[in-house]
Amino acid sequence: MNRRRAESGFTLIEILVAVAILAIASAALTPMVLKYINDGRRARSLSDAQTLGQALLAFQLDTGRWPVSDDGNINDAGEISRLVGLPFASIAPAAIPSGVATAPGAVNWRGGGNGGTAAALEDILIRNRNATANPLYAASLNPAAIPGWNGPYIKEVPVDPWGNPYVVNVRYLDGATVTGVTTAIEQSHAVVVISAGANSLFETSFQDATALTVAGGDDVAWTVEGQRP
């Protein structure tokens, strides 16, 4: 009789108990899994931002200047306020995260206001040309003797783990001489390669009148140049 009961399989109650245990375990584990996934994405975005920032520093070391001119004319600086991790043809407000009202000038990461004119990171770091200038910056066969573009400085420009482009507020680079930016403004602003984070909203200031020291909210940023005293 006991043998027949064992051969009959699981009872409905046993199945329901097993399902309930699995549901409880799943509910307990889900927040932990989501946290690890989000932590992994933040780690990747910081790594990407650092790679892009170091490529910009290598560009400056080779050329002796910051990439703030959209035509490569050394006598015509002050045209670029931000660099965006998208092909130039794709750079439009709709393709770049917006900001939140709690961060002064946050919408300027997207454009307008202090956001000013944007250029593509890939034009600066990979292609050394844009739609109107080729080469964009003078190349050098001997950078040690004659400063010049010696890239490409990176294989490709990634989007962040949430599908948004990285943005760099190059208008505040020390000595970039962007029109409308004074030395005092440069010194009160850090320059960062920044991701808008999981909520796809910039929560970091981008405003001349508001000092920028660190990233706000869930933004992820790597500092190219820190706030100067």
Q: Quick one: DSSP state of residue 165?
A: B
Are 62 and 167 contacting, i.e. CB atoms less than 8 angstroms apart?
Answer: no
Are 51 and 224 contacting, i.e. CB atoms less than 8 angstroms apart?
Answer: no
User: What residue spans define the domains of the chain?
Assistant: 2-225
* 3 state SS of 223: strand
Place of tokens 């000595």: 175
Burial 30-66 (b: 16+ CB within 10 A, else e): eeeeeeeeeeebbeebbebbebbbebbeebbebbebb
What's the token pair of residue 195? 């991701």
Question: Per the confidence metrics, is the pTM higher than 0.85?
Answer: no
Cα atoms in the 13 Å half-sphere on the side-chain side of 53: 22
pLDDT (tens, 9 = 90+) of the chain, 229 residues, equals: 455 555 556 787 778 777 888 888 777 766 666 666 778 889 999 999 999 999 999 999 998 889 988 776 766 666 889 999 999 999 999 999 999 988 999 999 999 889 999 999 999 999 999 888 888 888 877 766 678 899 899 999 999 999 999 999 999 999 888 888 999 999 999 999 999 999 999 999 999 999 988 888 999 999 999 988 7
Place of tokens 């400063």: 147
Are 202 and 229 contacting, i.e. CB atoms less than 8 angstroms apart?
Answer: no
Q: Quick one: DSSP state of residue 160?
A: P
